Amino acid sequence: MLSRIEIAAVTEQIAHRASRLLAGASLHGHKYAIDALVAATALLAPGPAVILSSDPEDLTVLTQGRVRIVKV
């Protein structure tokens, strides 16, 4: 399951995308910042992308169904 894990740096492009995702989802504050960065990274990655999370609700809102999210 974890054979394709890739570590990605937070680039300016990812940061801007995360900011737009937060605004589009009407989410604000540091509580959502990491989820937004993870979502932006997944959305910019060559697909298909899967996010493993113990708390998938905010990621689902941020990705709008464009990324598969698996609760672990």
Spell out the domain ranges in the chain.
12-71
pLDDT in tens, 24-70: 999 988 889 999 999 999 999 887 889 999 989 999 999 999 999 99
pTM of the model: 0.87
Joined tokens for residue 3: 């054979």
Does the pLDDT value for residue 1 go beyond 60? no
pLDDT in tens, 4-25: 777 889 999 999 999 999 999 9
